[in-house]
Amino acid sequence: MFTESTDVVVIGAGVTGLTAATRLRRAGLSVRVLEARDRVGGRLHTDVVDGVPLEIGGQWVSPDQDALIETLAELGLETFSRFRDGDSVYVGPDGTARRFIGDIFPAPEKTQREIERLIEVIDARAAEVDPEAPWAHPRATELDSISFWDWLGQHTSDAEARENVSLFIAEAMMTKPSHAFSALQALFFAASAGSFSHLVDADFILDKRVVGGLQQVPLRLAAELGDAVLLERPVHRVEWDERGEGVVVHTTDRTVAARFAVVAVPPVLYPRIGFSPALPRLVQQAHQHQSFGLVIKVHAVYERPFWREAGLSGTAFSPYQVVHEAYDNSNHGDGRGILVGFASDVRADALFGLGAAERKQRVLESLAAYYGAEALTPVVYYESDWAAEEWTRGAYATSFDLGGLSRYGAAQRVPVGPVHFASSDLAGKGFQHVDGGIRVGREVADAILAATTTTAATDQARAS
């Protein structure tokens, strides 16, 4: 067993842990990063599948994500815009594909007006929610005790409007059915992205991609840290001092003693680590009320982006299709056409119940409903399956069950002695996004730096 000491040990080399580690190291502290997988980046991963680079995990950057945009500039990474020229497609409840331009789906006119009205209502309610403290909303408990689906039902009697507005947060963001999370959680999500209108506007929320893939961010941060990052080192035990005086972290072949630990893994994985002494009861309870959503991100590659020839942008939506949304995801400077589609929550359950060939067929038929029969014959096909990954277990991120956010949310980011918790799942602004992970990584690093400054000042005062 190898034993070492450092100022800060970071558990998890996703974008959040690596942001914290580089910030601490730039400020002069020593760090050790322990990562369970054989690569860095966690939910950010660019892989080459049958000769095509595909972004298996997170990829998009939106204009409000200033922490991420700053990091991209700092790391010298370039972005490019998603292809969006031409008409979008909407498939309605009768299965008919209709072209449209703008954000509002070409539903019957009355339903369109109702969707616009609901967007205004949600924007106004979301503006009342502080993304850093949604539990502090005066009606937090009440809004957290009703599902988003039921709450929408209280605000409209138009079924198609309700299904479409639900899609923007349920299938598209939380990847859970809208009966499984609260109205408070939905309003918080909108507030964390700046407004509900931002989530509705695909040109905003899915604006840009990084040349070479978004995993470049953790890869470059890890390169800066060099051999401070150790791979294939799952942490299984954290011993911490209740007076805040240090922590000892264990992997199977290494013991790291540190003044502070940053646990930068998704909250559902905290129970994989044995804490001694046990974490406070409120914290242990909070972890049990958070869970991952489920989405299959599907990549279909074609010799050429054939939909563009038909005047289609590649953007497609339908709450009635297996693939509820899809986009042109062709790579920068590559002539091949790539479509990316998403099948969420209960539809993902149903797809995973099928064999691989039938699942592929269902997905491609759904793409064909938007783009025509040519979509049935991609040259490369790939499904991102994060729920099958031991060190993630779902996609895109975690959220509270009904009532959990108001009851436990405030405890999420409070350090326990020398142990700090960080991940995009705990973010306020940028919740569930890379931007949020960077914000939380910075915040945790600054809290540790403030604590070390205070300790140094106290030691100096004692000595003089």
Give the x/- contact pattern for ligand FDA in 386-415, rule: CB under 6 A.
x----xx--xxx------------------
Distance CA 94, CA 385 (A): 30
Closest contact distance (angstroms) between CB of 87 and ligand FDA is: 23
CA dist 241 to 1, 29, 238, 278, 417, Å?
22, 20, 10, 11, 7
CA dist 128 to 174, 357, 445, Å?
20, 47, 29
Q: Is position 267 an interface residue for ligand FDA (rule: CB under 6 A)?
A: no
Q: Is position 269 an interface residue for ligand FDA (rule: CB under 6 A)?
A: yes
The only residue of 21, 22, 35, 250 in contact with ligand FDA, by rule CB under 6 A: 35
How many residues bind to ligand FDA according to rule CB under 6 A?
41
Give the x/- contact pattern for ligand FDA in 320-339, rule: CB under 6 A.
--------------------
| DSSP strands (E only) in 214-372 | 229-230, 237-240, 247-250, 254-263, 274-276, 290-292, 295-302, 312-317, 325-328, 337-344
Main-chain dihedrals φ then ψ at residue 283, nearest 5 degrees: -70, -45
Closest contact distance (angstroms) between CB of 425 and ligand FDA is: 6
Four-CA torsion 444, 450, 452, 456, nearest 10 degrees: 180
Closest contact distance (angstroms) between CB of 42 and ligand FDA is: 2
Query: Residue 255 in contact with residue 1, Cβ under 8 Å?
Result: yes
- Amino acid letter, residue 417: G
Q: Return the ∠ at Cα 198 (arms to 195 and 204), rounded to 5°.
A: 150
The only residue of 9, 11, 222, 298 in contact with ligand FDA, by rule CB under 6 A: 11
Tell me the pairing of strands 237-240 and 247-250: antiparallel
Q: Is position 194 an interface residue for ligand FDA (rule: CB under 6 A)?
A: no
Give the x/- contact pattern for ligand FDA in 279-318, rule: CB under 6 A.
------------------x---------------------
CB atoms within 10 A of CB 271: 12
CA dist 89 to 98, 209, 298, Å?
6, 22, 18
Q: Is position 44 an interface residue for ligand FDA (rule: CB under 6 A)?
A: yes
Query: Residue 82 in contact with residue 326, Cβ under 8 Å?
Result: no
Containing 55, the helix (H) or strand (E) segment is: strand 52-55
The only residue of 20, 31, 34, 187 in contact with ligand FDA, by rule CB under 6 A: 34
Site for ligand FDA in 207-236 (CB under 6 A): 234-235
Q: Is position 36 an interface residue for ligand FDA (rule: CB under 6 A)?
A: yes
Closest contact distance (angstroms) between CB of 260 and ligand FDA is: 16
Which part of the chain contacts ligand FDA (CB under 6 A), choosing from 14-22, 97-105, 132-140, 281-289? 14-22
The only residue of 161, 169, 273, 343 in contact with ligand FDA, by rule CB under 6 A: 273
Q: Is position 106 an interface residue for ligand FDA (rule: CB under 6 A)?
A: no
CB atoms within 10 A of CB 94: 6
Distance CA 186, CA 164 (A): 14
With respect to ligand FDA, which residue has the nearer C-beta, 13 or 118? 13
Closest contact distance (angstroms) between CB of 449 and ligand FDA is: 20
Main-chain dihedrals φ then ψ at residue 276, nearest 5 degrees: -135, 120
Q: Is position 181 an interface residue for ligand FDA (rule: CB under 6 A)?
A: no
With respect to ligand FDA, which residue has the nearer C-beta, 6 or 392? 392
Interface positions with ligand FDA (CB under 6 A) = 11-17, 34-37, 42-44, 57-60, 234-235, 264-266, 269, 272-273, 297, 384, 386, 391-392, 395-397, 423-424, 432-435, 437
